[in-house]
Structure 1
């Protein structure tokens, strides 16, 4: 194994032992081309450990590539040696020119800031008006062009919210051939670290950490000395990537209602037939080569986040979405959100290849859900009805001018829309809460719809832009208050058409009532195949998160096809000493009543009152902030209702208020405002109590560090509704998958059935425990933090559930309390020692 060049991995601080352990194992996993899962509690410097370990490996790898001789080269083969030396020299010359150019740009930027060139009285930068006038074309613009294409499927993209089945995608991949330019670009790319997280705000935090790191040089010492680069800083070449919605600087496009609409309008403005004054003025052209190259160099000269790149695009009057692609080949680190990595079409649109690169996915505890959400799509009946009206009006208006295949496909669209609406109305019936499972065949069983070939129809919609033209025509007919009505209905229908082609073994269709509407939803059940190309093409895949436990789901349902020796898992401890955490499973309350929050028993008033007494006593003992996580909004509302009318001397809710200011999370309250008010109340010194919900906004991504969270109380286990159609389908899919696996291993049928039942139960429990682990991990955020964690339910004391908690919490539960009084005394002693 290649050893890291520096013992501390260029960490900007003195790393803790667990951070060194993390970085060492990360380095080894990348070197050995592994798929690895890293669990390291938030507050342990996970982001810096990922950056330092990965960047040290990357620079060491590049230096080794420059320093080593070609494989199988004999010492006497002077011709090969000379050729290799010339290649090294040419590469060094290229590196030298790049580093000097970037250094000059950094100096210029520093001087610009010092001199404050942007004087308030200075003349404002030129703004381009050409092409930004409102598009008020005649009706001819909405008419689809003559359509002759037949059979070619190479240009059908994945939509932003749906995806082809694995079999269909495999066929399309065979038909799609990369152009010569794409091949050449891929060959010139540097090996990269591709870092992914859920949101741009999380990626911005990562970029801020990246600015702190100074990795080792990628240039061998002998070449460094001979190339005048000795005193020149080799900065990290980083590029933040985003969607058009994130990076568009054309105000007329950016103001559109949806991501799909922005994408369509952007592509429309680039069409060859579009008049010059109608095209986007920011789009780079052949004449802009020098400006694009300057943008390319400026964007990697200093580490920039997504907002910085947008500002650079505006200042240079150049589209950052397209101009930024020129920097991809020179970048060492790419950052992008989940959806742009997970969809092959999105990666290809950006010009990003995972082949041979290192993929790091942070906040990966919800990766399987993210994959499922990315490739799932829903459609409301009201959208379909609007689409029918728009499509019918369009067909009537252009009836005499629609010829040949255009007439055929417009008729097919109307038939399919009608088939979907009829199926949705007929499936739900008069039931208020029923969720019905349907098949693609049922959705397409209407008159004439069963003869439609969805794949051909989708190809037509993509090439003709029919949905976009129909929406444009409909918008042109609207005025005033109705101008936003029905926007995006046809494009959403087009997205839904993609998943109609997926096989039943990958996902299911569900129809249910949604307020006063009816919705049909396609849910992806099996995320494996939609992530497989990333795993098989990349050098290494690293999943990292604060709470990845339980980890078995990843090996069983995401990476089941890879060799066991390629997959590794790591769970690191916390930087806080054990004395800074008091964690207990609470089996009985202050009155000795057993806590059983199973669905059938948790509604008992005596249980809710006992829980209220526990919270009241906790608020007396625990200083500052206390956060309580309930299994659902409904149960939180039910508990508060009981506490408000508690028939004692005073309502329990008043007992809470004697020691803490009480706050309650609800669906209609903005999380940031609630958190701000809670923090202000804690800051007054009296303290505050926050009643929240597992899986809601306050349970993920919010840090209850220090005084904000001296105690967290988890109430019950938030199991999903096992009787719901979607979870029934998920568990059935798990059972079928595990049954077939065990059957292939030669097990008897009865044993296969038992193993399948156990597997589905584990999967169901693991979903619940990941949500719990996310919530209770919110309170310990750095090495000097301290808090208590109370898990209120008899089931938390069982080995089965306890083993699915993060290791650092399990380690603090060595001594189990026998009753509530022991726990209360233990908390009092814990905080007495911290004051």
Structure 2
């Protein structure tokens, strides 16, 4: 009897979505469509442009459905309970034989329903008490936490001289046969089930798993949930990595994700007694006590307090860490303890899209809902998570590390362990050898070779090795963790062999950090080689400097890693501000997972902005009359860059405030900047606006952006001695500033976007796109992806002349355009001019791929003068009709030079 998944009764009226304010019509349509998709167990693709309130529509639509669904379950359980109770009361009218059989069956069913009913009542009662006692819990955190014993933990795992250690913790245990090992594992606990094991007998409830790309986006989503009227009745849990949640100082200081994970699991597995010093607030005395766990923050009582705190109210990840620190309770395992009772689980992409991470976190997909937000790059994200690139240096370092480990412990390791270690060394030696085969020894030029997985293994001449057994050995012995521990303890010895090589090539990066990550990456690479032969390719890049050569597993079939989510979940929602074109998602993800077309629902809403507040147009010629052709062959021509400079110079003279220029890459930004500087155009621009450039180093980004913003503010208020009317920021698509930076108000009145091949998220008001961002058609990886897609099906696009590979190639370009211009409008009172600079925008095939809210209003201009006059006219009319308080966000113009 599957009551949990019974459908809701269809209602003739739509529910009240309890929106926090009066919703737009398109938001109502969004929520109704979302409700239907969740109710009917479908797949939904939702596109809601920036500024149309997508997050609140997702929240209110999904939570309204979830509340209705849960109420329906409770009602059906109660109804079934009463029905069975009545049946039992009338059984006496039957014959005693029939009575006995019927009574037994009904009583068993009644017990099941009664148990479900009691579990629901117990859960509701416990959560009600948690909510009721929230103020007490909060007081306990803020006021009583300092009265708890302060644990001064000293991690002695690496203390002392190496001579005093017997290295037992670094030795691989005696590895048995596959059958013996299988039995041992079946009877034992996994690494994640040590002291951090979460025991929870409460019934699992239907959940909504919400995931997005970055922690800042997750925090923004949680903030939106807090605004809603039903926030008090929702239990939300945010999951994160140990790197984001760990509060143990001895672990956090390790920085690296792999090191933190290894250290956490290692500390849990210590069964010997550790001495910890306990100090009391009201006493100067300290005493030492014994504790079995290696981590003092895995106290069950404190963890349960943190669990209750998490369930009592809605908290973001920073708040959970803060209260975990106050309670001396692990936030990572505290969040996991609260997971089973959560209505909404908020998590980053990587946690949900990786099966191993899902399993480690206790995420159960069956019967639940998954919402993937900011999903315009979902396919690329899945591909990146499940692709691995190894350098020649990493491979040689890992091989050397294994050799050192074998040499030190060969007398203490079992014969079986030595056999597998030697096989690993031999396998790595063969992979390294592919960089130095006779075909490449005499060629100093760069060269790329592409293999199917089986062909790659055959080229290594390792057909005598069983890759599956080697991988099983690596996982069951946790050899990568043992090697990391060995490297950490004996790093001075291990690094000797590569010190001269790194000095020779002038490499100053930490060899130690490189060692620590190398073997885990190799393990992942070997595991990917066991994928179906057609699902990926091995790309070998030969470089003139051999240490920079790489071997990469390139995933071609992202559906293989998304199929479990599609098959297990009740419904899956893919949402974003810019999802067009969606044929990629349909073919490469959903159809490839076996989803029928009838199960997929698409929803695309228009924009909330009034038609007279947006001016999109394409332009075929520049100020000098030169045809604008920013194709790969023409984009670096001096004449084309000079024409771009004249366009930019025209706008800096009339546009106040900020201008943001996005380039395709750091290299191309340098080419354009150098040319403008040489011709004197940059100096003329600088008389009106100070020019800033995005730094390559992340550490300097914040300072540059701060200086840029300050310059705009000073010029806008005419403070100091400045004669400028704003600033120009030269940035890079896909760089540090293009992801998640809001160029609102005066920071981006004129944004010049120069895109070649990448996609990005841009927060802009007015956009001028120059060119079309087609990727490099000669890229070996792109060629393989297109050939793979062409081999999947003969299905063609509506154009019928395009294969799936050609559709994919064109979609890369159109997604970049739509994603960039989609940031021009931020809210209903905003306004923007969207200018598309390239003669190819007149082609119907290109225009039809633009976002619908742009395409339906697009005007075509052949002369720059007419387009510029139209932009200036719209600018001044909007400035005059907008209140002074809004003048600071007049116009942003983005010019994109694209291939």
Same fold (TM over 0.5): yes
Matched residues in 2 for 1:131 and 1:475: separation? 14
2:750 matches 1:721 = no
Q: Deviations over 1:151-183 (max 9, x none)?
A: 5897999xxxxxxxxxxxxxx9xxx9x99xx99
* Equivalence for 1:498: 527
* Equivalence for 1:602: 635
Q: Deviations over 1:807-834 (max 9, x none)?
A: 2222331x32231111111101101111
2:216 maps to which of 177, 197, 201? 201
Matched residues in 1 for 2:461 and 2:269: separation? 34
Shift of 1:435: 2.7
Shift of 1:373: 0.8
Q: Deviations over 1:444-476 (max 9, x none)?
A: 458873311111011111222223223322332
Shift of 1:805: 1.6
671 and 579 in structure 1: CA distance in 2 versus 1, 3 angstrom threshold: farther
2:652 matches 1:653 = no
2:408 maps to which of 397, 407, 410? 397
2:527 matches 1:489 = no
* Equivalence for 1:325: 336
* Equivalence for 1:676: 706
* Equivalence for 1:422: 433
Matched residues in 1 for 2:181 and 2:12: separation? 47
Matched residues in 1 for 2:878 and 2:149: separation? 58
1:457 maps to which of 462, 470, 483? 470
The answer to whether the 8 A contact 1:8-1:15 is kept is no
* Equivalence for 2:153: 129
TM-score, normalised by the number of residues in structure 2: 0.80
2:132 maps to which of 104, 121, 125? 104
Matched residues in 1 for 2:566 and 2:182: separation? 24
Matched residues in 2 for 1:149 and 1:588: separation? 73
The answer to whether the 8 A contact 1:189-1:328 is kept is no
Q: Deviations over 1:481-524 (max 9, x none)?
A: 87556222222222222112223311111122577511111111
Shift of 1:214: 2.2
2:734 matches 1:695 = yes
Instruction: Write out the 4+ residue segments of structure 1 that deviate beyond 6 Å after TM superposition.
Output: 69-77, 152-157, 182-187
The answer to whether the 8 A contact 1:700-1:775 is kept is no
The answer to whether the 8 A contact 1:508-1:522 is kept is yes
2:866 matches 1:822 = yes
Matched residues in 2 for 1:376 and 1:474: separation? 26
Shift of 1:254: 2.5
Write out aligned runs for 1:355-754 (5 A). Answer: 355-426=366-437, 429=441, 430-441=443-454, 443-444=456-457, 449-479=462-492, 484=513, 486-513=515-542, 517-560=548-591, 561-646=594-679, 651-668=680-697, 670-683=700-713, 684-685=715-716, 686-710=725-749, 711-739=766-794
* Equivalence for 1:770: 815
Q: Secondary structure at the match of 2:463?
A: helix
Shift of 1:258: 2.8
Matched residues in 2 for 1:184 and 1:110: separation? 24
The answer to whether the 8 A contact 2:613-2:832 is kept is yes
TM-score, normalised by the number of residues in structure 1: 0.86
The answer to whether the 8 A contact 2:382-2:558 is kept is yes
Higher RCO (CA < 8 A, seq sep 6+): 1
Matched residues in 2 for 1:25 and 1:9: separation? 12
| Matched positions, count | 777
Q: Deviations over 1:391-442 (max 9, x none)?
A: 1122222223333211110110110111111113337654444332134456
The answer to whether the 8 A contact 2:267-2:295 is kept is no
356 and 154 in structure 1: CA distance in 2 versus 1, 3 angstrom threshold: farther
Q: Which runs of 5+ in 2 are unaligned?
A: 1-8, 90-106, 276-291, 496-509, 717-724, 750-765, 880-899
Shift of 1:240: 0.5
* Equivalence for 1:236: 234
Shift of 1:599: 0.7
2:122 maps to which of 64, 70, 94? 94
Q: Secondary structure at the match of 1:689?
A: strand
The answer to whether the 8 A contact 1:39-1:571 is kept is yes
659-668 or 609-618: bigger deviation? 659-668
Matched residues in 1 for 2:67 and 2:426: separation? 58
* Equivalence for 2:229: 214
The answer to whether the 8 A contact 1:660-1:688 is kept is yes
778-787 or 631-640: bigger deviation? 631-640
Matched residues in 2 for 1:432 and 1:156: separation? 52
2:143 matches 1:117 = yes
Q: Which runs of 5+ in 1 are unaligned?
A: 158-171, 216-232, 743-750
* Equivalence for 2:825: 780
RMSD: 3.4
Shift of 1:102: 2.1
The answer to whether the 8 A contact 2:248-2:297 is kept is no
Matched residues in 2 for 1:189 and 1:264: separation? 30
The answer to whether the 8 A contact 1:659-1:687 is kept is yes
Q: Deviations over 1:511-555 (max 9, x none)?
A: 225775111111111101210110111011001111111111111
Shift of 1:302: 1.1
